[in-house]
Structures are given as C-alpha cells and as structure tokens.
Amino acid sequence: MGTPTALRKERSVLTGTSFADNTTGAITAQMVRQFTESGMGGYGCINNAGVGGGALTVAASTTVTIDWSLGSSGSDVAEDTGSVSSTTVGTDADYLSDQIRIYDKGFFVVNCNLSMRQIAASTNIIWTTMISTDNTGGSTTDSPTLKSIQYLGNANDVGNFNMCGIIDTTAHTTYTDVYARILHGDGSSQTIDIWYGQLMVYRVG
C-alpha cells in the first residue's frame, strides 16, 4: 500500500485533530476535493463504439497501444478534471491520445473491456491485452499485472478481453497515464479489427 502524500490526508489530519489550537488555513481547497473524491469517486472513461471500427496492425514481438479512435468511432465518455489554486486535478479522458490521465494522488480502480476480430495471416494465435501506466510521461510499466489472454484459432474469430484491478498513483510526480496495450505470440505481423471497447478509471481512496 502506498504512503499517504500531501494530497492524500489521513482522517486525523482531515478532521483537524492534528492541528494545534485549530490552526487556520491548514486544509486547502484541493485537500477538501481529494477527500470528497475518496467518497464519491473521481472518474474518467474513453471508448470505441464501432463494429469493424478499424484495423490495427500488431508486429511480431511488439506491444502496441490500443487505438481508441479507429474508424472515427472513439469518444471521451466522461471525465472529472479541473483546476484548484492553479493546479490541475481530477482525471482527463483523452481517446485521441488513447489514454486517461490521472492528476490526483490516490487509489483508482481501472476497468477495461475490449472486443476484437482477428484478421489473421496465420491461425492459432495467442493474444494478450494489458493495462499499462507511466509516471508523468516516463517509462511504461505493466505493474500491477492486469492482463487478459485469448487463443484465436482462425481468421474472423472474435475475442473478448476483460481487465480490472486497483492502481496506486500516490507516488507519481504530476500525473499517471493509463492505457491499454496488446501483443501476440505469432512470428509475423497480425491485424485486428476493434469491435467495441471501453477503458475507465474511478477513485476509491
């Protein structure tokens, strides 16, 4: 479990019990927002709402980010972002960049479902999808491991992937980017059609 940060206060701090003589100005507007979000949830969601939304080529031994804008079927479903004391807070849904950006430090549930059709040059292919993150544009990490696997035997087979878990953003510098990626175990490039999908986050702590 991550260590509480300046923006993720413990109950004793938020209730003022640790402030000597009821010190004024100790709780900022941003802290109040963070505390409120812990109860009601900060959120963000992007999707692709098309059947045969567009082809995505995945080269051998390469992990590719899911392109939510394929077939002009992507959209930003919902987001909760704003500014407090000149600091960006909340979550920013950005399907054109294939990601959700989390500015708040806390704990978030990530849920992703993805349907795809295999346009296979080969058959009997193992596909792996995963949730990936980075800290303020840094290196990509797949930890904690949120992955799903499908074995598709023939061209035009359809696979459904589901991933859900909790990520800890308390250690990020400015923001955490969340995105979905895919790879396969075949020795040559393969192509898929995105048939619906959604990536969402919401705060739980």
CA 162 – CA 127 distance, rounded (Å): 13
DSSP per residue, 17-47: TTSGGG-TT-S-HHHHHHHHHHHH--EEEEE
More confident of the two residues 120 and 140: 140
138 vs 13, more confident = 138
pLDDT score of 86:
78
Query: Each residue of 92-106: pLDDT tens digit?
Result: 999 999 999 999 888
Could you tell me the pLDDT band of residue 122, with boundaries at 50, 70 and 90?
confident
What pLDDT is attached to residue 1? 42
Q: Which domains does the chain have, with CATH numbers?
A: 42-203 (2.60.120.40)
Q: Region 74-100: what's the mean pLDDT?
A: 88
